[in-house]
């Protein structure tokens, strides 16, 4: 299944300051800003200093680059990395006096002159500089302290309007899932009605082309409309228009009478799927508090899986509807049209919730942004803090975008850090489709029919797939940040390979044996259960964090187009592949891609779990051959230590932790040594259990 959670707004990683100065008075002079030296993050080269890593559990040295890339036509690689670090938290290192003055100045600029609002922005700016030290701000009331504390202790305690936004986004995800899977059962009927239900090359290719039409549109048109639609209509407007398009085209599909008419209707459906899938998670991320942002973005994957299940349930529910004299049948028309129901609900409710405050800021509508975010927070201080931080990030992004402005696409390929991130991102996006999941999502009913199921049993078995896909998507909230992206993929790809082979090879079991049907269904269900917490949520999460912030929009557009294009390739080729290779060969083909996927991840995809922006620069700014060599060493370690149970086998270090001269950086408890014996020293320390 495809979903497109975008990157969360930058600035999620905020390093705590070591101390706080007394809270400034309301009359702090903005003119003092002119006398203060610029903080180090505004362009000075940082010296290696101790800082907290992303988990907060260990101390690490900040990354100092060994390679200085010159960006063609614009700033150097150092400029890029300095700008990227600034986006991590543009308020880092500023004193409370300066933050308070900046908050008051912003309130004045926004025309918010009420004394309560000015106070809120003064205190909010101080808290935005360090979310963890609000207890040192003496002007806060007890109520404000309680609300700020509950952001950590009860992060799901939020105003009802925020959960209204969550409901709208969840319904959009359900629309997405239904749009993708109602065709699963309906095609068993309309392919016969349209005369494309045979095994000839013409019929199999036309069936595949009809089913895959929305994803072709997404790849070549829909995805690229997202940015202009968001700029013109806002988040709510884009969601409303895309759901309206989905509703109209689903209704249109129900009234088609030829395969080419169905193809046209489904192609235009892609204009609803593409912008909606990209915009909805952005809307959720921009409205949510920082502590809740990741969980709300992950909701997209979970509720898309829920929509997939509901689409398959609709297929089963309308199966028994008689034709009532309707030409070419009625039940498949109701199946295809049923996906319009949640889309119409979203259209009715979209403008009840507030617009994204961040979008208002991009239009310089600061008062509207403040009014919007106040509806999403309990206290004015919370609203002022988040709005001030959004504004500061947007200003920092404008500065970053001005560095080498015309070369960002070229720099995707010419700068090693960006190129390695692109290779890793495109690898996982390609594999999300070629692992074979959408063969099951779009064609499971046809597979079960080929296995000897009756029509109603095939639809019921497909519903079982949808239910398992949804249930096993729920653990992704925990597994993706606990086990890591790379480890999840390395674990699940071999299992998906095995379960697809089980599914395909079970077709050789005689149909008279109960094991024939049982093992085919079991293989599909186990495959789905393994996919949902692994290759399901990882690709978009990985792509969103792999790219540096200044090229992240371009990187995510490429990632989205990649997954929709290969989604189209899979959907259009499966009927012909099945006819040519039979189920054993067709499932074996995608099982082979899962085996290939394991090695591609092993050699090309480094771990990104709980890495700050600076650490991600270090992870990706290494020679690709070093990443490949690390994968080979890791495979050897796994074979010796885990499989053969040999003691004393040393786990290899990731390449970004090893200096060019044998230096080993302190990271996650590893010993640091700057001399040539550093690497062996670290390994001896780790082997003896002292680290």
pLDDT for 685 beyond 60? no
Rounded to whole angstroms, what are the CA distances from 159 to 100, 117, 120? 27, 19, 18
Greater confidence (642 vs 496) lies with 496
Same domain, 137 and 221: no
Alpha-carbon gap, residue 234 to 95, rounded angstroms: 35
Domain that holds residue 260: 159-364
Same domain, 578 and 662: no
Query: Which pLDDT belongs to residue 646?
Result: 84
Beta bridge partners of 52: 59
Same domain, 633 and 572: no
Query: Which pLDDT belongs to residue 341?
Result: 94
Check if the beta carbon of residue 383 is closer than 8 Å to that of residue 374: yes
Tokens of 551: 């090229």
Place of tokens 């302190």: 666
pLDDT for 662 beyond 80? no
Identify the band that residue 412 occupies on the pLDDT scale cut at 50, 70 and 90: confident
Whether residue 486 is contained in a domain is answered as: yes
Alpha-carbon gap, residue 510 to 188, rounded angstroms: 24
Same domain, 145 and 167: no
Alpha-carbon gap, residue 352 to 157, rounded angstroms: 21
Same domain, 596 and 662: no
Alpha-carbon gap, residue 164 to 430, rounded angstroms: 34
Check if the beta carbon of residue 546 is closer than 8 Å to that of residue 620: yes
CATH number at 574 reads: 1.20.1250.20
Whether residue 385 is contained in a domain is answered as: no
Check if the beta carbon of residue 545 is closer than 8 Å to that of residue 616: yes
Same domain, 503 and 425: yes
Identify the band that residue 463 occupies on the pLDDT scale cut at 50, 70 and 90: very high
Same domain, 424 and 473: yes
Picking from 312, 317, 329, 334, the residue whose alpha carbon sits closest to that of residue 194 is 329
Beta bridge partners of 76: 70
Whether residue 603 is contained in a domain is answered as: yes
Per residue in 308-318, pLDDT (tens digit) is: 999 999 999 99
Q: How many domains does the chain have?
A: 4
Tokens of 525: 């269900």
pLDDT for 444 beyond 50? yes
Same domain, 104 and 165: no
Whether residue 190 is contained in a domain is answered as: yes
Identify the band that residue 6 occupies on the pLDDT scale cut at 50, 70 and 90: very low
Alpha-carbon gap, residue 495 to 527, rounded angstroms: 8
Per residue in 508-550, pLDDT (tens digit) is: 999 989 999 999 999 999 999 999 988 988 888 888 788 887 7
Same domain, 134 and 231: no
Whether residue 318 is contained in a domain is answered as: yes
| pTM for the whole structure | 0.79
Which of 334, 364, 394 terminates a domain? The answer is 364
Per residue in 217-265, pLDDT (tens digit) is: 998 888 888 888 988 999 999 999 999 999 999 999 999 999 999 999 9
Which of 153, 176, 204 terminates a domain? The answer is 153
| Mean pLDDT score of the chain | 81
Per residue in 18-69, pLDDT (tens digit) is: 333 344 444 444 444 433 333 333 333 333 333 333 333 333 323 333 334 4
Whether residue 502 is contained in a domain is answered as: yes
Same domain, 147 and 167: no
Same domain, 589 and 471: yes
Same domain, 410 and 468: yes
Query: Which pLDDT belongs to residue 27?
Result: 42
Alpha-carbon gap, residue 688 to 691, rounded angstroms: 8
State the maximum Cα–Cα separation within the chain, in Å, rounded to a whole number: 87
Rounded to whole angstroms, what are the CA distances from 290 to 284, 475, 620, 633? 11, 21, 26, 38
Tokens of 316: 């089963």
Q: What does DSSP assign to residue 655?
A: G
**Helical segments of 547-657, H only:** 552-604, 613-620, 624-637
pLDDT for 75 beyond 70? no
Which of 364, 391, 423 terminates a domain? The answer is 364
Alpha-carbon gap, residue 259 to 250, rounded angstroms: 15
């Amino acid at each position: 299944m495809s979903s497109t959670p975008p990157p969360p707004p930058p600035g999620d990683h905020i390093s705590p300051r070591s101390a706080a100065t007394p809270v400034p008075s309301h009359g702090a002079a903005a003119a003092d800003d002119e006398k203060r030296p610029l903080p180090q993050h505004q362009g000075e080269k940082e010296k290696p200093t101790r800082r907290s890593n992303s988990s907060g559990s260990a101390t690490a040295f900040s990354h100092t680059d060994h390679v200085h890339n010159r960006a063609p036509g614009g700033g150097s690689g150092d400029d890029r990395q300095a700008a990227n670090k600034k986006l991590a938290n543009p308020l880092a290192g500023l004193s409370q006096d300066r933050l308070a003055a900046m908050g008051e100045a912003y309130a004045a600029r926004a025309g918010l002159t009420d004394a309560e609002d000015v106070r809120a922005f003064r205190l909010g700016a101080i808290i935005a500089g360090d979310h963890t030290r609000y207890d040192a701000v003496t002007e806060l009331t007890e109520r404000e302290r309680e609300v700020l504390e509950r952001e950590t202790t009860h992060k799901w305690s939020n105003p009802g309007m925020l959960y209204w936004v969550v409901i709208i986004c969840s319904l959009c995800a359900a629309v997405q899932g239904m749009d993708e899977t109602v065709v699963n059962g309906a095609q068993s009927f309309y392919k016969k009605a349209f005369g494309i239900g045979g095994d000839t090359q013409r019929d199999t290719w036309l069936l595949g082309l009809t089913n895959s039409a929305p994803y072709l549109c997404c790849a070549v048109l829909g995805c690229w409309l997202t940015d202009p639609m968001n700029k013109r209509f806002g988040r709510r407007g884009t969601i409303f228009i895309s759901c309206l398009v989905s509703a109209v085209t689903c209704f249109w599909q129900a009234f088609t009478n030829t395969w080419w008419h169905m193809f046209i209707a489904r192609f235009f459906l892609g204009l609803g799927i593409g912008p909606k899938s990209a915009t909805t998670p952005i809307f959720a991320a921009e409205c949510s508090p920082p502590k809740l942002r990741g969980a709300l973005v992950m909701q997209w994957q979970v509720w898309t899986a829920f929509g997939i299940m509901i689409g398959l349930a609709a297929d089963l529910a309308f199966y028994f509807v008689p034709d009532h004299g309707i030409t070419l049948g009625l039940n498949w028309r109701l199946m295809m049209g049923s996906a319009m129901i949640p889309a119409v609900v979203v259209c009715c409710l979209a403008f009840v919730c507030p617009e994204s405050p961040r979008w208002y800021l991009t239009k310089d509508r600061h008062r509207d942004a403040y009014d919007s975010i106040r509806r999403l927070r309990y206290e004015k201080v919370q609203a002022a803090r988040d709005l001030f931080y959004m504004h500061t990030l947007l200003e920092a992004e404008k500065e970053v975008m001005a560095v080498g402005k015309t070369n960002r696409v070229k720099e995707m390929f010419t700068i090693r850090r960006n190129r390695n991130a692109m290779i890793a991102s495109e690898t996982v996006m390609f594999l999300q489709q070629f692992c074979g999941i959408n063969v099951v999502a779009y064609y499971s009913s046809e597979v079960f029919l080929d296995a000897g199921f009756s029509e109603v049993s095939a639809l019921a078995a497909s519903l079982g797939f949808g239910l398992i896909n949804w249930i096993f998507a729920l653990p992704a909230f925990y597994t993706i940040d606990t086990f890591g992206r790379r480890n999840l993929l390395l674990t699940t790809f071999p299992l998906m390979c095995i379960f697809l082979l089980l599914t395909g090879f079970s077709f050789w079991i005689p149909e008279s044996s109960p094991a024939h049907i049982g093992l085919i269904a079991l293989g599909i269900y186990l495959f789905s259960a393994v996919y949902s917490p692994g290759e399901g949520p990882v690709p978009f999460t990985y792509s969103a964090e792999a790219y540096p912030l200044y090229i992240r929009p371009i990187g995510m557009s490429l990632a989205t187009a990649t997954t929709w294009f290969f989604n189209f390739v899979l959907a259009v080729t499966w009927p012909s592949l099945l006819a040519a290779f039979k189920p054993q060969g067709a499932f074996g083909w995608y099982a082979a891609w899962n085996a290939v996927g394991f090695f591609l991840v092993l050699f090309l995809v480094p771990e990104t779990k709980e890495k700050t922006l600076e650490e991600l620069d270090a992870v990706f700014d290494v020679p690709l051959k070093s990443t490949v060599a690390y994968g080979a060493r890791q495979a050897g370690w796994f074979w010796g230590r885990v499989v053969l149970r040999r003691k004393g086998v040393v786990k290899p270090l990731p390449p970004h932790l090893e200096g060019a001269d044998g230096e080993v950086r302190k990271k996650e408890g590893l010993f640091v040594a700057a001399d040539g014996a550093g690497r062996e020293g670290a390994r001896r320390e780790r082997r003896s259990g002292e680290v």
